[in-house]
Amino acid sequence: MNSMTPPQLLQSLHWRYATKAFDATKKIPRDVWQALEQALVLTPTSYGLQPYQFLRVEDPALRAALLPHSWSQRQVVDADQLVVFTARTEMTEADVDKLIRRIAEVRQVPAAALETYRGMMLSDIVHGPRGKKALEWATRQAYIALGNLMTCAAVLGVDTCALEGLNPLEYDRILKLEGTGYVTVVACAVGYRAADDKHAGLAKVRYEMTDLIRSV
Amino acid sequence: MNSMTPPQLLQSLHWRYATKAFDATKKIPRDVWQALEQALVLTPTSYGLQPYQFLRVEDPALRAALLPHSWSQRQVVDADQLVVFTARTEMTEADVDKLIRRIAEVRQVPAAALETYRGMMLSDIVHGPRGKKALEWATRQAYIALGNLMTCAAVLGVDTCALEGLNPLEYDRILKLEGTGYVTVVACAVGYRAADDKHAGLAKVRYEMTDLIRSV
């Protein structure tokens, strides 16, 4: 099962760049956007716990309110879509039980058969040492989703720009995240590059492969 | 520029799963592996700083030594490739200057023309508030690479399993990372599923899209 050849993949990855200027008039076709939403949902996570929510910010007023808290990066208002990645602030027994119920439902197995798996999660990410760092652990899972989204968009010919340069507390306030158990960690603009974005033509800067990958 | 259709992408993402049993006899073709290494190198990062190194663990003795520190997950020894993701422990002026030199070299611009960009990075990730959390910031970038790798592998028909269940300190010791300025954050086994891995046939468990994606 392979959908691309290695040269096709590399062509897409070279085509991708952190888009600075989006064409505000160009919309992502419905089937393409739905595939990207599905891709977000299908992101792999630790234990399958999916400790995040993705906010699709459609309201132009909200986008405008976010702009000054995004280092004024125009992608926030110009890109067809803006996805804000939020992460779960803590992991509780209820979070684990919610996943157990979902596994039981999807795979048609009794929840009791998942007791060992439940215990593993509880002793690690809830009550174990990682439980104290649950937000950071959840944030890392959100970053897997971010990497997944940018790559999926690239192979579908859709532009993205990850936005770490934002004020998470202001995002939380504007997006009314207080009390939800989720906080903003990063965002990603998704759409199409403007024809005159001169960043599109710049050579991609990466360290030599031998600096980044070591064989041992 | 698009290399895949939405249904092709979704087919690949549904095909992908956290592979528990790898076929230890199946090797990744050279051109496919080289594309995956290129994909790692092409990962987008904050400011383009690439604050990580990827260790390709080829030595079977090292793999065997890592196994007991990986919750005994057999993927560590059975998968054709094992990539250990390491993150930079701190970000210094030298790291920023290294990137500036690389940009100047690749884009054929004088380093002096990049002074504003240099200042932005220094005041943020070196001397700014994020400088104190540089390792965690670098770890997040490594997770973008992890997400990117798993998706790229999937579209090339290659199996992966992310491995968070490992003892980073023991990995650092075995891989001799002390003093390098990099520490282990996560690993990923890459290869081909065993024909009898019963996990391959299990229904994928995700929350409903409406639970994971909210439009605002």
Q: What is the pLDDT of residue B87?
A: 98
Q: Is the pLDDT of residue A1 over 90?
A: no
- In this complex, do A3 and B203 lie within 8 Å of one another by their Cβ atoms? no
What pLDDT digit, counting tens, does each position of A173-205 carry? 999 999 999 999 999 999 999 999 999 999 999
**Residue of chain A nearest B54, judged by CA positions:** A213
pLDDT band per the 50, 70, 90 thresholds, residue A149? very high
Tell me if chain B has a CB within 8 Å of the CB of A140. Answer: yes
For the four alpha carbons of B160, B166, B168 and B174, in that order, the dihedral sign comes to negative
**Min Cα–Cα distance to chain B from A67, Å:** 16
Phi–psi pair at B145, nearest 5 degrees: -60, -40
Q: Stretch A100-113: mean pLDDT, rounded?
A: 96
Chain B nearest-CA distance from A24, in A, is 19
B207 in contact with chain A, both atoms CB, cutoff 8 A: yes
Instruction: State how far residue A170 is from chain B, nearest Cα, in angstroms.
Output: 16
Quote the pLDDT of residue B66: 98
Angle between helices B134-155 and B30-41 (to 10 degrees): 150
Left if phi > 0, otherwise alpha if psi is -120 to 50, otherwise beta: which for B176? left
Contact call for residues A87 and B136 (beta carbons, < 8 A): no
DSSP B138-168: HHHHHHHHHHHHHHHHHHTT-EEEEE--S-H
pLDDT of residue B88: 98
Q: Is the pLDDT of residue B1 over 80?
A: no
Q: Is A59 on the interface with B (CB under 8 A)?
A: yes
Cβ burial A106-139 (10 Å sphere, 16+ → b, else e):
eeeeeeeebeeebeebbebbbeeebbeebbebbb
- pLDDT tens-place string over residues B38-50: 999 999 999 999 9
Nearest CB among B10, B38, B207 relative to A102 is that of B207
Give percent of chain A with pLDDT exceeding 70.
99
Q: Specify the pLDDT at position A120.
A: 96
Beta strands B213-215 and B159-163, pairing class: unpaired
**Alpha-carbon distance B67 to nearest alpha carbon in chain A (angstroms):** 16
Percent pLDDT > 70 in chain B is 99
By C-alpha distance, the chain B residue nearest A99 is B207
- How is residue A28 written in tokens? 């992502």
- List pLDDT tens digits, range A13-54: 999 999 999 999 999 999 999 999 999 999 999 999 999 999
**Chain B interface mutation, best of A143, A180, A209, highest count of B Cβ atoms under 10 Å:** A143
What is the rounded average pLDDT of the residues A127-149? 97
Beta strands per DSSP E along chain B: 52-56, 81-88, 159-163, 182-191, 213-215
Q: Does B203 touch chain A (CB under 8 A)?
A: yes
**CA-based nearest residue to B80, from B37, B42, B29:** B29
Domains of chain A: 6-92+125-212 (3.40.109.10)
Identify the closest residue of chain B to A15 by CA–CA distance. Answer: B1
CB A9 within 8 A of CB A155: yes
Q: What confidence score (pLDDT) does residue A3 get? A: 81
Residues of chain B numbered 10-39 and touching chain A (CB < 8 Å): 10-16, 18, 31-32, 34-35, 37-39
Query: Is this prediction's ipTM beyond 0.95?
Result: yes
Q: Where are the beta strands (DSSP E) in A150-212?
A: 159-163, 182-191
User: In A, which residues are within 8 Å of B99 by CB distance?
Assistant: 205
- pTM confidence score: 0.98
Whole-Å CA distances, A129 to A90, A122, B46, B66: 13, 11, 28, 21
pLDDT (0 to 100) of residue B3:
81
The pLDDT value given to residue A183:
98
**pLDDT of residue B131 exceeding 90:** yes
In this predicted structure, what is the pLDDT of residue A140?
Answer: 98
Q: Judge whether residue A8 has pLDDT over 80.
A: yes
CB B149 within 8 A of CB A44: no
Phi, then psi, of B203 in degrees rounded to 5: -65, 140
